[in-house]
Amino acid sequence: MSELDPKARINLSKAIVLIVETTSHAAEMLGQILKGFGVAETHRCVSATEAEKLLRTRTFDLILVDPDVKEGDGYALLRNLRSSMVEPNCFAPIILMSGHARVSKVKLARDTGANFFVSKPIAPNILLERILWVARDKRPYVEAGKYIGPDRRFKFEGPPPDSDGRRSSDLKDPLGEASDPNMSQNEIDGLMKPQRVMI
Amino acid sequence: MSVVRRFRPENRLAKLMAAPGGVSIADALQQASVELESVRESCMSALDEKLNALTTLNATTVTRERDEQMYLLSNEIFGESGAFGLEELSAVAHSLCTMLDANADCLPTRPAIIRVHIEAMRALRHPDMAGDKAARAAVLAGLRGLTARHAQPIDDLDDEPST
């Protein structure tokens, strides 16, 4: 995770964010942090039932969920949202904000379809880093069996040993030794084409 | 073998954030801290109420439901105190969560350890502790040693997903 560039700009003035928290105070704290970031509109709920109603009627650009939300289960809320295929909310970036990690819930959390996990306590710089991360996330979404959400594999380390892999981009043959001379630095620089990016 | 479908839905958040205008990240972070500070007092009152509720619950008969309620309260204290920089209190609350999440049958000393955690949190909220970092650190170090003897490590993720 890269550090934040203090001079970079963000524009959340038109973003609508749903906060699903365990208590009104926790929701208020998050709401205040988002207000500081310039978020135009936040909707705060402290129950899964309330969140489900809002998700049916409003469109959100970002969803922040604590899985221990009352009157339901935050994990189920997220899984149901992803599998509902009701656009655009079903594809909205979701950040799961977990407090203490229950031993029994670690795998469950991984399979909800959230884009990112943040460990509490929430600090403004950490939350902003994660928001920027989900905005820049280039992973494709995947529908496989009961799972719908971003590809859970962050790193591609090649196909499993003794297999040809399943991706069309998996190399079938070993690469072997290089046959041509190495490229010069100028040739490499020319391939990169650095561009200025506004965030 | 299940069918795998890959697709790239529109990321509206990315488009909004890249729009001209907005604020610098430095200003956003500074303003967020100011806004968070504005709710400190009400959050601290709520935190003390949760501590009282924990004490009351701990005096009742041990049941799975009671432990679940205590776990949730402790988890809330962990998150909310930590966000306001009460690091030791947050750490003790986290330690209590670990204790409450552990298998109760294997820990004969569990009730006593839970009681010590709650008393430690109450002590850390005492006004005299606010300016005594060494005393707060001592409380935390003692509890860490105690919990390390009982808490179970989180299992490794042995079955990595293929997608």
What residues 130-169 of chain A have any CB closer than 8 A to a CB of chain B?
131-132, 134-137, 140-145, 147, 151-153, 166
Tell me if A124 and B33 make a contact (CB, 8 A cut-off): yes
Interface pTM (ipTM) of the complex?
0.84
- Residues contacting B12, CB < 8 A, separation 6+: A61, A88, A92
Beta strand pairing call for A147-150 and A141-144: antiparallel
- Residues contacting A39, CB < 8 A, separation 6+: A12, A13, A15, A17
Q: Which residues in A lie closer than 8 A to residue B71 (C-beta atoms)?
A: 100
Task: Identify the helix (H) or strand (E) that includes residue A44.
Answer: strand A41-45
Answer yes or no: is pLDDT of B157 > 90. no
Tell me if B31 and A147 make a contact (CB, 8 A cut-off): no
B interface test, pick of A21, A32, A102 with most B CB neighbours within 10 Å: A32
What does the block give as tokens for B3?
């069918």
Q: Which residues in B lie closer than 8 A to residue A102 (C-beta atoms)?
A: 101
pLDDT higher at A197 or B22 = B22
Answer yes or no: is pLDDT of B158 > 70. no
- Residue in A14, A99, A101 nearest the CB of B79: A99
Answer yes or no: is pLDDT of B129 > 90. no
Domain limits, chain B: 36-148
Domain limits, chain A: 16-150
Q: Which CATH architecture has domain A16-150?
A: 3-Layer(aba) Sandwich (3.40)
Looking at 3.90.1170.50, 1.20.120.160, 3.40.50.1820, 3.30.70.20, the CATH number of the domain B36-148 comes to 1.20.120.160
Answer yes or no: is pLDDT of B83 > 70. yes
Q: Which residues in A lie closer than 8 A to residue B36 (C-beta atoms)?
A: 29, 32-33, 36, 124
Give A9's strand partners.
Answer: B24
**CA distances in angstroms from A128 to A5, A36, B16, B53, B146, listed in the order given:** 11, 11, 15, 33, 35
Asked if A76 has any chain B CB less than 8 Å from its own CB, the reply is no
Measure the CA–CA gap between A131 and A61, rounded to whole angstroms: 11
Structure confidence at residue A46 (pLDDT): 93
CA atoms within 13 A on the CB side of B23: 19
Indicate the pLDDT class of residue A120, thresholds 50, 70 and 90: very high
